[in-house]
Homo-oligomer: A and B are copies of this chain.
Amino acid sequence: MPGFIGVHLGAGDHAESLVKEYTKLSNKACKKAFLMLESGASAVNACTEAIMILEDSPLTNAGLGSNCTWDGDVECDASVMDGHSLQQGAVGAVSGVKNPVCLARNLCMERSERLSMGLIPPSMLVGDSARAHAAKVGVELVPPEALVTAEQQRRYNKYKRRVTIAPEDQMEDTGAEWEPARLDTVGAVCVDFQGHVAAACSSGGIMLKSKGRVGQAGIPGFGCWAQDARGDIDAVAVSSSGCGEQLIRTFLVKETATMLEESICAVRGLKDALKLKYLESPLSLKEEEKLAGLIVLKYNPLKDIGEFIWGHTTKTMCVGLMSTAYSHPMSRVSLNTKPGEIAKVEGTAFKCRGKFN
């Protein structure tokens, strides 16, 4: 009777040819997290483990194989939230850390222990200092260039050349020749055997981003959110993907969590959030392309009734899940034919404690 794990491999434009690979990877992450939940792991730790597997795959834009910065480096953002302690941990623009999500998890856990003399443990660390902290607390380091894959190097060379060589043609080039946009941040939401929830996410950010740029995935409350049930209010967990600057300005993750809490049905809550707080929000009126994807979880621990829902305004979104009600992980790529204009929302109900089995 362990719990529930749901993951995403980003909202973006997943290549048709790679769907099998995405599904396999998503299944692997779900299965690993689920086995941990079965052994009594906390939601925070199971989430972290799932994200580590996604980071370690060159398929995703997180950890190994992330998009390169303008200078050709990999710099990662990641964050974790524990719905029980309500603590958050986030790292931004960190290079040379094999699993940025581990460092975020670490900060989240350190926040639970009060430091002496009124010192306040940070919820967010960035840049070289974040890497130094990783070394101090035993989070695995790698040479920064080890996270740049040959495939990403090739894409970097191609785009950098195009952007820098012909500045006078740039405005006419509408990007039609670009390969599928790799907005594919990864994320996870989880319920553990005690009914606590957690959420996490990790991202390499946008291709050719400025060095030092931090997107929503590296900021507490912007990349993910988790809050346990309290009184009549269900537990909720949210993890995001999409254009960081838009997700930051619209507070989409937190707005979605609030709407989920207030709505009877998670599908309705997520639909409303994507419509009212994103696509039609006065805060994103001036955006040319509105690209976001969310996975959300709403769970009532007393009734053991849960919903896992995904929604995206991008062409595709890849999601996976596993709970007691399913004997094996289920992953799929959700399709949407009008990127940036409408939100597609789908999902499933789940049970955590095996009453179905």
Interface positions of A (Cβ within 8 A of B): 85-86, 88, 92-93, 111, 114, 116-130, 132-133, 159, 162-163, 167, 170-171, 173, 175, 178, 206, 208-215, 219-221, 227, 230, 243-245, 248-249, 251, 254, 282-283, 286, 288
Contacts and interface: CB of A to CB of B under 8 A. Distances in A.
Contacts of A215: 124
A126 B126 contact: yes
Contacts of A133: 210, 212
A218 to B, nearest CB: 9
B249 A126 contact: no
13 contacts: A86-B286, A116-B163, A116-B170, A116-B171, A117-B173, A119-B163, A120-B206, A120-B244, A121-B210, A122-B245, A124-B248, A128-B212, A129-B210
A88, A126, A162 — most chain B CB neighbours (10 Å) = A126
A327 B212 CA distance: 44
- Number of this chain's copies in the assembly equals 2
Given A125-B212, A125-B214, 9 more contacts: A85-B286, A86-B249, A116-B163, A120-B209, A121-B245, A123-B244, A124-B213, A128-B212, A132-B212
Nearest to A123: B245
A132, A175, A209, A220 — most chain B CB neighbours (10 Å) = A220
A221 B130 CA distance: 22
A88 B248 contact: yes
A68 to B, nearest CB: 13
A178 B118 CA distance: 10
Contact of A92 (B126, B171, B286): B126
A282 B288 CA distance: 37
A88 B114 CA distance: 32
A122, A132, A178, A288 — most chain B CB neighbours (10 Å) = A122
B124 A88 contact: no
A120 B290 CA distance: 13
Contacts of A159: 117
B249 A221 contact: yes
Given A117-B162, A163-B117, A251-B221, A122 B213 contact: yes
Nearest to A212: B129
A127 B93 contact: yes
A208 B248 contact: no
A120 B245 contact: yes
Contacts of A288: 114
Nearest to A246: B120
Given A175-B118, A213-B122, A248 B230 contact: no
A230 B227 CA distance: 33
Contacts of A220: 248-249
Which 8 residue pairs of A and B lie closest in terms of their CB atoms, listed nearest first?
Answer: A129-B212, A127-B127, A116-B170, A122-B213, A126-B126, A129-B211, A125-B212, A124-B214
A118 B221 CA distance: 26
B283 A93 contact: no
A235 to B, nearest CB: 12
Contacts of A167: 116
A122 B215 CA distance: 8
